[in-house]
């Protein structure tokens, strides 16, 4: 299966997110309400996207760390198909969340271990997001073999692995031969001079490489 | 200094939070907009509490894991004095957040290490929150010597350590002799038959023990 393209809507307001969505909503596969937007406007952006796109996959990037059951139920009630939990959440939190929503993505930040990943697998979590943090990127880090090796290992464990952080059309090639589940782009699409074309370029590049 | 009392407003709606705040706002020292409420209603509850209590300390429990600068700026703009970051956030994320808001609390979940804590101290973070996760409590865990030893060690490192998770008036005694910065209670106060009395009982017990 070809990797999906996921747009991370990380704007400050719902209105600003809708400007992007208007352009790229029909091109991308997954619509993500980013953490910044969740924390600014709560679940309203999730409800708005669900109203606009009854058939698309909608992800609430809550980075849930506790109260898994409540947060997941709220996301689902608002219309989200998937939500994210943070990798340092406890297993009971992840389990509780996993019961209430279609699918969870574990967001890999900081010092997670493959031992933890094994536990996530055991409780039925299918997805992980391999992350280059924006702040890490801002401080000069970038994608390298160290990252790609970890991604390969996660794929081998049976996870659907999405990747994100400073991606552009050219960085897609780095992942050639790896079974990436989704490429997640935010500013790379939303801040492009022509977001629709940027999204289509991503799709075309994915088609070319995979 | 006697420990503070912090109310965690972890309701589903701002209105419900205000029902609690009306009762206990003048009794407690710190008003926390809980993560569930942040994710439901965004920053509006922070703005509402700031409008109602111009002089109280207001904490936004965002459990920020990335985009530290943006999230912290948004919290501050909404009127928050403090915000939380999750312990598995990268150091650059914490540093970026710490620049934009008065104080950060690092929320200790899962497998954090004292080595990490040393790094937080080095970048100027003053506060940590020692947590019994609600989901861990629901699965049968409780406060024990293991927790108290870690709290003592964090205090010794120079952190202001707040504690939270299933606290009631009786569990306060467990912390006798430890320099706790704040006791954080949620349901223990909000769901009491008389929240104002419950908050006052906490305050009285803190006065008695410390």
For the stretch A87-105, pLDDT in tens is 999 999 999 999 999 999 9
Q: Tell me, what's the pLDDT at B65?
A: 93
Over range A190-205, report the average pLDDT. 97
Is the distance from CB of A78 to CB of A57 less than 8 angstroms? no
Mutate to test the interface with B, among A88, A128, A186 (most CBs of B within 10 A): A88
- Which CB contacts under 8 angstroms, 24+ apart, belong to A110-118? A110/B87, A110/B88, A110/B89, A110/B90, A111/B88, A111/B111, A111/B113, A111/B116, A112/A87, A112/A88, A112/B88, A113/B111, A114/A153, A114/A157, A116/A87, A116/B111, A117/A154, A117/A157, A117/A159, A118/A157
Per-residue pLDDT reduced to its tens digit, B107-153? 998 889 999 999 999 999 999 999 876 666 677 777 888 899 999 99
Q: Tell me, what's the pLDDT at B134?
A: 63
Higher pLDDT, A111 or B127: B127
Distance of alpha carbon A157 from alpha carbon A145, whole angstroms: 18
Q: Give the nearest partner residue to B67 out of A36, A41, A74, using CB atoms.
A: A36
Over range A8-32, report the average pLDDT. 97
- Nearest-CA distance from A9 to chain B in Å? 13
Is-above-0.90 flag for pTM? yes
Is the distance from CB of B39 to CB of A83 less than 8 angstroms? no
Q: Tell me, what's the pLDDT at A136?
A: 65
Higher pLDDT, B134 or A79: A79
Q: Tell me, what's the pLDDT at B19?
A: 97
Look at residue A50 and tell me whether its pLDDT is greater than 80. Answer: yes
Residue with tokens 């492009």: A192
Q: Tell how strand B82-86 and strand B57-64 pair up.
A: parallel
Please list, in sequence order, all residues whose beta carbon lies within 8 angstroms of the beta carbon of residue B156, skipping any fewer than 6 positions away.
none
Residue A210 tokens read as 């995979």
Residue B198 has a CB neighbour count (10 Å cut-off) of 23
- Please tell me the total number of residues recorded for chain B in this structure: 210
DSSP state of B174: G
Residue B26 tokens read as 């003048």
With an 8 Å Cβ cutoff, the interface of chain A facing chain B consists of: 10, 12, 35-36, 38-44, 62-71, 74, 86-90, 92-93, 95-96, 107, 109-113, 116, 131, 133-136, 138-139
Residues of A in contact with B35 (CB under 8 A): 64-67, 71
CA atoms within 13 A on the CB side of B193: 0
Tens-digit pLDDT string for chain B (210 aa): 899 999 999 999 999 999 999 999 999 999 999 999 999 999 999 999 999 999 999 999 999 999 999 999 999 999 999 999 999 999 999 999 999 999 999 999 888 999 999 999 999 999 999 987 666 667 777 788 889 999 999 999 999 999 998 898 989 999 999 999 999 999 999 999 999 999 999 999 999 999
Per-residue pLDDT reduced to its tens digit, A119-169? 999 999 999 999 876 666 677 777 888 899 999 999 999 999 999 988 989
Q: Tell me, what's the pLDDT at A142?
A: 74
Assigned CATH class of B4-209 = alpha beta
Is the distance from CB of A130 to CB of A151 less than 8 angstroms? yes
CA atoms within 13 A on the CB side of A36: 21
SS3 B190: helix
Question: How many percent of chain A have pLDDT more than 90?
Answer: 87
Q: Tell me, what's the pLDDT at A143?
A: 83
The dihedral formed by the CA atoms of B110, B116, B121 and B124, expressed in degrees to the nearest 10: -90
Indicate yes or no: CB of A109 within 8 angstroms of CB of B116: no
- Nearest-CA distance from B207 to chain A in Å? 30
SS3 A167: coil
DSSP state of B186: S
What is the average pLDDT value for chain A, to the nearest integer?
A: 95
Per domain, the residue ranges of chain B are 4-209
SS3 A177: coil
Buried b (16+ CB within 10 A) or exposed e, A130-141: bbbbbbbeeeeb
Distance of alpha carbon A200 from alpha carbon A11, whole angstroms: 20
């Amino acid at each position: 299966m070809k990797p999906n393209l996921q747009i991370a809507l990380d704007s400050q307001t719902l209105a600003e997110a809708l400007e992007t969505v208007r352009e790229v909503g029909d091109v991308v596969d997954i619509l993500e309400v980013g953490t910044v937007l969740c924390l600014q406007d709560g679940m309203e952006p999730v409800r708005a996207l669900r109203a606009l796109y009854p058939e698309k996959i909608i992800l609430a990037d809550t980075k849930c760390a506790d109260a898994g059951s409540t947060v997941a139920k709220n996301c689902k009630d608002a219309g989200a198909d998937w939500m994210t939990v943070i990798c340092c959440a406890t297993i009971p939190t992840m389990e509780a969340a996993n019961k209430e929503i279609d699918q969870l993505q574990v967001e890999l930040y900081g010092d997670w271990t493959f031992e933890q990943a094994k536990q996530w697998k055991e409780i039925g979590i299918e997805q992980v997001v391999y992350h280059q943090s924006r702040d890490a990127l801002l401080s000069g880090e970038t994608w390298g073999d160290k990252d790609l090796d970890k991604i390969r290992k996660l794929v081998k464990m049976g996870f659907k692995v999405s990747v994100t952080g400073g991606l552009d059309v050219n960085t897609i090639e780095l992942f050639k031969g790896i079974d990436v589940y989704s490429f997640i782009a935010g500013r790379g699409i939303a801040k492009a001079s022509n977001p629709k074309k940027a999204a289509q370029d991503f799709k075309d590049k994915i088609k070319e490489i995979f």
